[in-house]
């Protein structure tokens, strides 16, 4: 049941968005834009999302069977950690997921082969909507699933806490792709996180926006740190609704922010170092000596070192390009 619960949450939350009364005054795009830009039929999108979710369930069930099959065959009572510990685990998982998503997502764009043959499927929905949040190539779905597994292992979550986190992540993905700019009382995610529907809409809409705002699903600090943040404002349309627009012309934004025709390229050795660090964490946290209650402080410090190291090297490479 735990493996399919996030799937149920996804369709319930997406269904609510689609069954709401007409909300044209809160939409970031007009019906005309929607009809012109989204060329994929809704049944195709739904089928694609179901395929992704099937991949997720099969992958997670297989990993559970291989590494802890007792979860599938026996009944066990697992004591949940205290609320403060679970909050810390949530925060760690959010940070890890954001790191995973940013670097994978950015590489999917900067690598022409990967974009053309894999990630471009997601961008066929140029005007995003709720139930299409997880519409993607099966290989990208598999990569995203492994990202979720890394979050679970690194944070030391129990299965129940992981279920909560997966469900909230699914809801957050729907919120990012909803195409709605709701009032604060009706859009809690938009109130809490800077990474909202308008922020991600900039990334989806138009060829130029696809070079920026890679960060998802929670925070935006990766974009700001690595020069791929596109400032924007949300304004009301004269005939109702909203639209997001870039608040500064690209030519007026300093080069140090990376908002020029070319996005600063992350050297391959940086990706390899991140993969190595995450692999080390997984090995450490799945060892028998680890009690699985909380992410070690030493590992957090190591991540901070890698973060600073990455920032310095990107600045050096950008200076060499100049």
Share of the chain above pLDDT 90, in %: 34
What pLDDT does 275 receive? 55
Number of H helices, E strands in the chain: 13, 2
pLDDT of residue 74: 54
For residue 101, whether the previous peptide bond is cis, meaning omega lies within 30 degrees of 0, is: no
Residue 262 and residue 255: Cα distance in Å, rounded?
10
CA–CA distance, 97 with 69 (Å, rounded to integer): 25
Q: What is the DSSP string of 181-196?
A: ---TTT-HHHHH-SS-
Q: Does residue 94 contact residue 169 with C-beta atoms inside 8 Å? A: no
For residue 80, count CB atoms less than 10 angstroms from its CB and return exposed for 0-12, middle for 13-18, buried for 19 or more.
Answer: exposed
The three-state (H, E, C) secondary structure of 186-231, written as one string? CCHHHHHCCCCHHHHHHHHCCCHHHHCCCCCCCCCHHHHHCCCCCC
DSSP state at residue 208: G
37-56, pLDDT tens digit by residue?
777 888 999 999 999 999 99
Instruction: State which residues form the domain around 22.
Output: 5-321
Residues 6+ apart with CB under 8 A from 316: none
What digits encode the pLDDT tens for the residues 79-92?
788 899 999 999 99
Q: Cβ-count burial of 235 within 10 angstroms (0-12 exposed, 13-18 middle, 19+ buried)?
A: exposed
Q: Cβ of 90: how many Cβ atoms within 10 Å?
A: 17
Q: Quick: pLDDT tens for 250-304.
A: 433 433 343 334 444 555 545 555 555 555 555 555 444 444 444 444 455 455 5
Which pLDDT does position 266 carry in this prediction? Answer: 52
245 sits in which H/E element: strand 242-246
> How is residue 199 written in tokens?
């922020």
* Strands 232-236 and 242-246, bridge-based pairing: antiparallel
* Band of residue 320 on the pLDDT scale cut at 50, 70, 90: very low
Cα(193)–Cα(123) distance, rounded to whole angstroms? 23
- Cβ partners under 8 Å of residue 254, min gap 6: none
Share above pLDDT 70 across residues of the chain, in percent, rounded to a whole number = 69
What is the predicted pLDDT for the residue at 90? 93
According to DSSP, residue 219 is labeled -
**Domain tally, the chain:** 1
């Amino acid at each position: 049941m735990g493996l399919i619960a996030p799937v149920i949450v996804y369709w319930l939350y997406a269904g609510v968005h689609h069954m709401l009364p007409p909300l044209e005054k809160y939409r970031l795009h007009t019906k005309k834009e929607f009809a012109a830009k989204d060329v994929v039929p809704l049944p195709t999108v739904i089928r694609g999302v179901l395929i992704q979710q099937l991949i997720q369930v099969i992958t997670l069930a297989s990993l559970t069977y291989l590494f802890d099959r007792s979860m599938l065959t026996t009944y066990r009572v697992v004591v949940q950690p205290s609320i403060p510990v679970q909050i810390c685990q949530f925060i760690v998982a959010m940070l890890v997921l954001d790191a995973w998503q940013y670097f994978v997502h950015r590489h999917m764009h900067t690598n022409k082969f990967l974009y053309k043959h894999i990630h471009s499927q997601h961008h066929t929905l140029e005007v995003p909507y709720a139930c299409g949040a997880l519409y993607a190539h099966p290989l990208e779905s598999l990569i995203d699933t492994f990202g979720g597994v890394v979050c679970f292992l690194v944070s030391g979550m129990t299965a129940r806490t992981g279920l909560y986190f997966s469900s909230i992540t699914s809801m957050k993905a729907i919120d990012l792709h909803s195409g709605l700019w709701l009032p604060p009382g009706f859009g809690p995610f938009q109130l809490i996180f800077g990474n909202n529907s308008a922020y991600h809409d900039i990334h989806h809409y138009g060829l130029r926006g696809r070079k920026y705002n890679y960060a998802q699903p929670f925070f935006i600090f990766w974009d700001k740190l690595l020069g791929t943040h596109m400032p924007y404002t949300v304004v009301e349309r004269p005939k109702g609704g909203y639209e997001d627009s870039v608040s500064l012309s690209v030519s007026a934004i300093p080069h140090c922010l990376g908002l020029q025709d070319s996005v600063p390229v992350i050297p391959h050795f940086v990706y390899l170092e991140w993969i190595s660090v995450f692999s080390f964490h997984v090995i450490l946290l799945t060892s028998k000596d680890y009690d699985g209650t909380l992410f070690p402080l030493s590992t957090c410090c190591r991540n901070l070192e890698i973060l600073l190291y990455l920032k310095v090297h990107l600045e050096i490479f950008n200076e060499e390009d100049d």
